[in-house]
Every structure is written in structure tokens, then in C-alpha cells.
A and B are shown apart, each in its own frame.
Chain A
Amino acid sequence: MKPPRENIYFVDGLPVPETPQPGEKPAPWRQTRVIGKARPRVDAYERVSGTAVYPSDVILPKMLYGAILRCPHPHAKVRRVDLTAATRLPGVHAAISGDSLKVNPEWEYRTFGGPTVKSLLFDPHCRHEGEVVAAVAAETPYLARDALAGIQVDYDVLPFVTDEQQALAPDAPVIHGDSNRVGPPQVYQRGDVAKGFGEADVVLTETYHTACELHTPMELHGCVAEWDGDRLTIWESTQGVFAVQSGVAKALGLPLSKVRIIGRYMGGGFGSKLVAGKYTVIAAILARQIGRPVKLVLSREETYLAVGNRPPNHMALKAGVKKDGRLTALDFTGTGSGGAYPAGGTSLLDWQVRDLYTCPNVRCETTDVYIHAGPARPFRAPGHPQGSWALEQMMDALAHAIKMDPVQLRLKNIPAFSQARDGQPPYTTTGFAACLQEGAKAFDWQQARLKPARGKADEVWLRGVGMAGASWFLGAGFGPATVVLRVFADGSVNLNMGAADIGTGTKTVMAMVVAEELGIKSDMIQIEHADTGSTQFSGPSGGSKTVPTDAPAARAAAVAVKRQLLAMAAVQLEEKAKRLTIRDGRIHSTGASDKAVGIAELKELKRQGVIVGVGQKGPRPEGKVVVPFAAQFCEVAVNRHTGELKIVRFLGANDSGRVMSRLTYDNQVYGGITMGIGFGTTEKRYLDHGQTGKLVNRNWHDYKLPTALDVPVDMTSLPIEMPDDQANIVGAKGLGEPVTIPTAAAIANAVFHATGIRVTTTPINPVQLSRLLAQHRKKE
């Protein structure tokens, strides 16, 4: 057996508990009553009535407010921290720094396939602006900020490099060791690209750049920490309570059993809230030192500096194609930076190039470098939207060069197996061709392309259409994950799972699964989740894992309680268990119509009080790989004078297996497109490379998210529903990430169709577009 591999979301290769056992696998659902329907969320009332208590809403008796002092320089060493003035201020209860602590906990950074770098919670060597230097707790957040202003810090300010392209220059200041390379270049190769280019009728080369994107979820990163003796409870805004638990326990040297993390609601994460933050541990230290609960919620500015980003990437792609549309070779090089620590600056950057289209000759080389900037964190489909920006624009350019419809070109290169994985395993299902074909049909693609693209010379708005395809690396989910169901004497059900509902509708999907399997109403089900103290283990909700992981576990648990219920009914009704079914909360005999009993009328259930069913995520299919696919189509209009870009309409076609919950499914599609619109047209982190190295746009005024006025009112979600019965026992593949991968490239392709200009650098904003339009006019 291969050694376990640490992936960005999970540890691969470790045996995990799994149910059902072979031979017990329940049959795939055929006709469903609940699954796939458009039902409001089970927690919708809580979320619209304000009764949902998010971690940053928690208010405890005697609670204090924490705040963190951060290094204002991109590179500096802390010589001395003087807390005296801060601690003397009235209302300030504690001020801490690395020197004031008995133990300054170790803090580790590592990335898939890269090195591990050890640092400290308060590391005197600050390698990015926003590194923590000291922290305080006070009666009010205002007093806490006053106290920060009272802390005197002497820094040795050191030379910095914040531009990932300058970081490899011989005279660049080094961040770790003796080179700013995070590791040796990662090289992937199949076939012979030189031979492939020799066979091509057309070979194109282009370079592409994607700007660093920041997650900025609406709820700030933060927590409330409270000690009860030596037992620590933390309310944390997180995608994974168990991951936070292990991070906090490790940093503080506590047994896992003494650390309870509760994260029942959370206001968005997108990958930036998968693990414990430094702020989590700091809140716990402050709370312990003072003996009172501490709320530590970061300011918006801090979230721009210190809690992750999508790395900036620079890519070059050379591609060869035959006149009939078959790809002959792809040669990709990419660099990027995950900031000052190993954080996946080029993680999965080349995956779309490697695996999306059939191509016999592929070479990819990626180089991850350090810069003096905040460490990256996984951001919704790490690496994929960036790689897609290159590959999907190249596909568009190739189609243009050989005068083929871009949809047709893609259809000529649909693989049935994963070319880039070891052993080249087949996909359990692929709906990629269907996404392209049915998406094109629903969008009226061919007609839309025929309309005069450039418009008449006197028209201000140039219109165009574009499209792009995508796959997502991980569609199978990953264990371990356990769900426990309890059926009470009155037939109501308690569903217990560790997974967070990060806004994707996890709770709703799980309730629908149980309602479907047990033949009961969703409102009979109460969900307890995302609490390490009282719920079952599940990994963080990231990597589009939650539905394909926790939904099979929920169904397995439902099957386990159903078996017990039917056995009880069999005795009571004097009927064989296998002839019994449950519908509307009653157990019926399929043979004798008069033999029926309500779940609440089961004598044995009344006697026991409760029955319990345990379900675990089932095994992954052997020798096959589960991958979701997507295609997106859009129409844009470009103002030929100002460079303003209007996105007129969008369609997202997705093969993510079975549609579990139609409302939350469509919501993911629209949300993914909206986030992709941000990545493609509005968002960019600006660092002041030349002068201070500091982050220039550190708020939502200067760093633009798409608003209600930046998205098309006309958005369509087109599910390509093909239940994947080999993937797992619910037939669903992940959805949350594929929905955002192709968006930016589809927009760029539409801009090309509208203007004849290939925009290879994100974001396509009026600043860039007006400049390109002016250059283009000169050429013409």
C-alpha cells in the first residue's frame, strides 16, 4: 500500500470505517417523492428571522472583546513589544505577545506535495503584512482597539519582495532557506509534446495572468472562546468543526476531548475557514488568562491581510490541433505564489490542462514561489478557475483558428477516462458532452453566435457570446463521515452529523435523504450538527465533498433504522419484513392492504423509547473515478468607448449526478457564476510592489465584489441529471466548485466574440478594456 498522502482537504490512503457492507447496498432510488424537488430549506426560517445564531452573534455573560495587533510591514523582525501602556488602560484585561507567554505555540504551514514550514503563533520574524504581533482583551471592541494603539513595537524593517515574478530574481530577498522556490518544479508528462506539435495543423501560443482573489465571506473570521475549568468551548465561524478542534488542541497541547468546537451557522467561507485560525488560539489563550469568555472577530481589513486568498498565477500554454478538431499536444507552464508560507501557490493549476480534454501529448510544469504576502488558503476549486482561464481561452482561439464552432471543438475531445490519473481510470459517468450539447441548445448558441457580433460602426455596445467547459478534480467526497439517526417513540427523527452547512443547503439535503428513505415528512426531522461535543465526525465542508460524503452516510443510517422499524412492524403485523414498506409515516404490507401500522404505534419502539441507526460514507468505487462536469454559456455587451462590460445572460449546465434539492442546486449554480464574474471582471489584490509592499485595496470599496448590479438578471441553471449509482448510494457528485470554474473564461471568450480582443489578464474591467479597445482601434 502506498503511504498516506495529505491532500488539501483530506488524508488519502488511510482505512476509514465504511457502511454499507458489501451485499447490503440499498438499491438506487427510482421514483422519488422528496429528493430532487424544489423545497424551501429546513433552516430557512432561522436564517430569515434572525434567530440563527452565528458564531459572531454569540454574547456570553462577562464576555470580553479581543483584538490583534498586526505587523504593518511586509517583512520585519520584532525586536521588542512593550505592553505596559496597553495593560494600564482602564477596561483592558489582558495584553499578550510572544514574549509574555510561557509557551508560544508552534504554527505549521504545509501544502499538498510541498514542504512543511514551522513557525510560531507569535513569530518574531514577520514575513507578511498582517502577521500577528500582540493581542489584547477589553470590555468593548473600542477599548480593545485603543489598547492596540497603546502597544509599542520596535521593528527591524527588512527588504521585501511581493511580486511573484520578481521573487526568483537573483537579488530578491529570500523568505525561507536559500531560494524563493517552494520546492522543485512539479512536472507532469504523457506522450511526446514535440511529436504532437509536429502532427498539428495549427499551433498557438499564449500567456495568461490571473490576479490574486480574496475570499471575503460576509461573516468575518472569528470566534468566541470560553473555558469551564480545563474544558474549552469555542463558537467558531468554520467550514469544519473537527478540523478546528484538532488545530486548537494541537496548538494548546490539550486532549481533543477537552476542546469543543461549535459552528452550527456560519456566514460563508469558500475555503478560507477550513482550519483553525491564529485568532482562534489567541482567543482561547486570552480567555484562559483572564478567566472570562473572549469574543475575537477580525476586522474586515484583517481578513484581507491574513486569512487566505486565491494565489496570483502566470501561465503559458502552447496547443496544437488538427483541422478536424482533435487536440495533438498541450504544453503548459505556470507559476504562482501562495504567499509567505507553503500554501499551494500552484495547487491543481494545471489540472484542467491535464485532464479535461482528450490529448495524447501533454506536458505541464508548475513552479510555486514565496513572496512577502499573506498565505493562500484553498479557494473554491483551487487552481481550477485559473487553469480554466488559460485552457478555455486557448480552446476558443483554436476553434477560431480552424474555423470550427467552439462547442464542436470541445465535443471532438471528450474523454471517457481520466487521462492524468495513475492507471487512467474511467469516469463512473460523464455528462460533459451532454452539458455542452444541451447547454448550447438551451442557450440557443448557434443562433446567438450568428447575430452580427461586432455591430455597426455607430453602435456603442458590441455584443458577443462565449462559452467554456470544466471538470472538478474531486467529485466522490471523502470519508470518514458518520451520521447517526435516532427515531423516537412518536416517529420523529433526530439526525446527528458533524458536517457544517456552509450555505450550500447541507441540512436540507440530509433531511430530504432521510425523508425519502424513511417515508416520513421533513418536518419530523430535527438536525443536530457541526458540534464536536455532540455530533459525529465529518471532515470540513470543502472540495464539494459534503453531499457525496454525508448524504450517503445519512442514507445508510436511514437504511439501518428502517430495517429495525420493519422488523418491529413485522412482529406486530405478523407479516414478513421484506413485504413491508413505509409511506407517510405508516408501515404497510405490499401484499395485504389491511396490514398497516403507524411508526408511532409500534409497540416495540414505544418500549425501547428510541432506536438508533449508524451510517458511514461508503467506499469509493474501485478502479473508477467520480468527476463532475460543467459547461457555461454567456452573452456580454461591451461599450466600445468606455470599456464597460455588461453581462447580459448566463447559463450553467452541470453534470453533478443526481439533483438532490433543486432550489439549493440552482442557488449553487447562480452563486458560482456570480463568484466567477467577480474573478473574471472585478476582483484583484493590489500590492504596492515598488514602494511599501503593503496591500493597497483592503476593503470592499477598493476591492470590488460583484454587486446586484453586476450580475445578469437572466440566469439559467440546466441540470444534466444522470444519477451516478457507482459513485455512492445517493447517486450525487459534488457541485459547489464546478459551478465557478469556467465562468471567467466564458466571459473572456464572449468579449473576444464581441470585440476581437483576447483579454488574457484578469480582471476584465473598464480600465483594462478601454485601453485594449484603444490599441485595437489604432491597429485597425
Chain B
Amino acid sequence: MADEHETNDRKGVTRRQFMTRVGVGAVAATVVGGPPAGRAEAAQVMRPGEMAKITLWINTRRHRLLVAPRWSLLYVIRERLGLTATKVGCERGECGACTVLVDDRPIYACMLLAVEAENKKITTLEGLMQGEQIGPVQDAFIQHDAFQCGYCTCGQIMAAEGLLRKNPRPADEAIPLAVSGNLCRCGAYPQIFKAVRAAADKRGDQ
């Protein structure tokens, strides 16, 4: 793996300044989350091109990784770890194809740096599986044909999963709202609503 480098002749925020800001963010986070204080200080003194040693908890497994500070969580999950159910659609928080759960809340993985996701519980679509066994939301998507090309589907399922973890008995109106941050260009929305309804009802019965 090549070292990340710095282009010094460019104007604007340098990576170093940027990292410092991220470091400050991490210090602020200590108040709430309480990761070891030393790590935040280490981030503040990172030199250009240096890789950050981080730990990500993804689908209950611990991954110890060297990442460039600017790498998005999406890039690390998808291209470095090969968990390709997290799709790339826009890389700017518009489409939801990269939706994962961070501490059980649906989050666009493209909008979070990998270094920001340290010590959080990250769940990708692969994390809804038990071996080859699919989860109830996935099964409902199959039964209701809630997709066409399938490319947005993993993100739709994660958004639905996030809804049901927070609100196991959602009202009908809550469902379109919950997946409204996930674009489907094929337009399978009505079936997605039905699938999420069915998955919710099935959970409610158990």
C-alpha cells in the first residue's frame, strides 16, 4: 500500500489542518463516548502522509486497520474490507446506497470518515445474515419483489432495519419517511413499503 501524500502547492485547508480539526472532534467525543484519551492526542500530531491505526467494530468483528485520515467509512468497508453490500452511489450523502447502521442508526457511510467511526457499533447488510441465512427484512424484500436492479437494495434494507430497531411497530406513514433518504431509480418504492410493513408485522408477531 502506498503512503498517502501531501500536495503542498494547493490552496485551502491542508490535510494537516483538516486532521487537527478531526482530532478536536475526537476530543469532544470523549466526553460522551469515552474512548482512551491518548488516541485523540495522537491524531492531533499526525504528520502528512501518516496512516492512522484504528479499530472498527463491524458486524461484531473487530478490525484493526491502518487508514488514511481522509478515507471514508464507505471506502474502507467496501474497497479495503471487501464488504461490497455497502454500495457506492454518489459519495456525497444524497442517495443512501451506502447506508449502514452506526450504533443502530442508519448512516450514510460516505459521509463519515473511517477515523470517526472508531469504537462505534457498525452493522452492514452482511451483519444481518446468520451465515447464509437472511434476516426478516431481507426475506420480506424477496417476497414482495421490492427491487429491480438491486443496487440500492442493500441500503434500503439497512434503512428499514434501522427503522425497525428504533420503532418495531411503525405506523404506515413512518415507512416511506424512513426510506426517503434512499433513492431507487428503478422505482420499486411501493413494493419496498409493502416489504417493510410485512417485516414489521412479522417481527411484531414473534
Contacts and interface: CB of A to CB of B under 8 A. Distances in A.
Contacts of A41: 142, 145
B185 A90 contact: no
Chain A contact residues (Cβ within 8 angstroms of B): what range? 35 or more
Interface stretch (A211-219, A249-257, A340-348, A426-434): A211-219
Interface string B1-35: 11111010010000000000000000000000000
B56 interface: no
Contacts of A267: 87, 149-152
Nearest to A49: B134
B55 interface: no
A711 B186 CA distance: 12
Interface in A583-628: none
A215 B183 CA distance: 13
A48 B134 contact: yes
A150 B152 CA distance: 34
The SS class assigned to the B binding surface is loop
B190 interface: yes
Contact of B191 (A141, A667, A705): A667
Interface stretch (B37-45, B78-86, B115-123): B78-86
Interface stretch (A53-61, A201-209, A413-421, A543-551): A53-61
Interface in B161-188: 172, 176-177, 179-188
B134 A91 contact: no
A27 interface: no
A384 B3 CA distance: 52
Given A47-B147, A218-B97, A218-B183, A699 B90 contact: yes
Interface string A494-512: 0000000011110000000
A705 B142 contact: no
Contacts of B83: 50
B75 interface: yes
Contacts of B125: 49-50
Contact of A149 (B7, B70, B92, B97): B7
Given A141-B75, A300-B90, A675-B187, A266 B138 contact: no
B68 interface: yes
B149 A266 contact: yes
B73 interface: no
Interface in A504-533: 504-505
A700 interface: yes
A55 to B, nearest CB: 11
Contacts of A502: 149
Nearest to B81: A59
B70 to A, nearest CB: 6
Given A44-B142, A218-B183, A268-B151, A91 B94 contact: no
Interface in A35-80: 40-41, 44-50, 52-54, 56-57, 59
A138 B7 CA distance: 15
Contacts of A457: none
Interface in A714-757: 715
B183 A48 contact: no
A671 B7 contact: no
Contacts of B71: 140, 142
Contacts of A713: 172, 176, 190, 193
Contact of B189 (A53, A149, A265, A674): A674
A470 to B, nearest CB: 17
B107 interface: no
B187 A700 contact: no
Interface string A262-296: 00011110100000000000000000000000000
A708 B148 contact: no
A143 B157 CA distance: 32
A547 to B, nearest CB: 14
Contact of B142 (A45, A146, A220, A300): A45
Contact of A48 (B124, B142, B180, B182): B142
Nearest to B173: A713
Nearest to B181: A707
A78 to B, nearest CB: 22
Contact of A671 (B95, B177, B179, B186): B186
A504 B188 CA distance: 11
Interface string A622-652: 0000000000000000000000000000000
Contacts, number: 199
A186 to B, nearest CB: 31
Chain B interface residue bracket vs A: 35 or more
Given A267-B151, A270-B185, A667 B145 contact: yes
Contacts of A149: 7, 10
Given A218-B97, A503-B148, A670 B187 contact: yes
A559 B177 CA distance: 49
Contacts of B176: 708-709, 713
A140 B82 CA distance: 14
B91 interface: yes
A701 interface: yes
Interface string A9-44: 000000000000000000000000000000011001
B200 interface: no
B141 interface: yes
Contact of A57 (B84, B185, B192): B84
A91 B5 contact: yes
A768 interface: no
A8 interface: no
A630 to B, nearest CB: 16
Given A671-B148, A700-B94, A90 B189 contact: no
A137 to B, nearest CB: 12
B101 interface: no
Given A48-B138, A91-B3, A671 B187 contact: yes
Contacts of A142: 4, 68, 70-71, 75
A45 B154 CA distance: 12
Q: Which of A89, A140, A711 has the most CB of B within 10 A?
A: A140
Contacts of A138: 2
Given A56-B88, A146-B7, A671-B187, A90 B151 contact: no
Contact of A670 (B68, B87, B139, B188): B188
B92 A699 contact: yes
B69 to A, nearest CB: 10
B186 to A, nearest CB: 5
Nearest to A715: B190
Interface in B107-134: 124-126, 129, 132, 134
Contacts of B182: 708
A299 B110 CA distance: 13
Given A146-B5, A218-B87, A707-B183, A671 B153 contact: no
Given A40-B143, A700-B90, A700-B94, A705 B7 contact: no
Contacts of A140: 2, 4, 68, 71, 75, 79
A139 B2 contact: yes
A150 B172 CA distance: 52
Contact of A90 (B2, B134, B142): B2
Contact of A673 (B7, B139, B184, B187): B187
3 shortest interchain CB distances as A-B pairs: A50-B85, A674-B187, A267-B151
17 contacts: A40-B143, A48-B154, A49-B129, A50-B83, A50-B154, A90-B3, A91-B5, A139-B2, A140-B2, A142-B68, A218-B149, A218-B152, A219-B149, A266-B149, A701-B92, A701-B94, A707-B180
Given A140-B79, A300-B90, 7 more contacts: A46-B150, A140-B2, A142-B4, A143-B4, A215-B185, A300-B95, A707-B181
Interface of A: 40-41, 44-50, 52-54, 56-57, 59, 89-91, 138-143, 146, 149-150, 215-220, 265-268, 270, 297, 299-300, 502-505, 663-664, 666-668, 670-675, 699-701, 705-709, 711, 713, 715
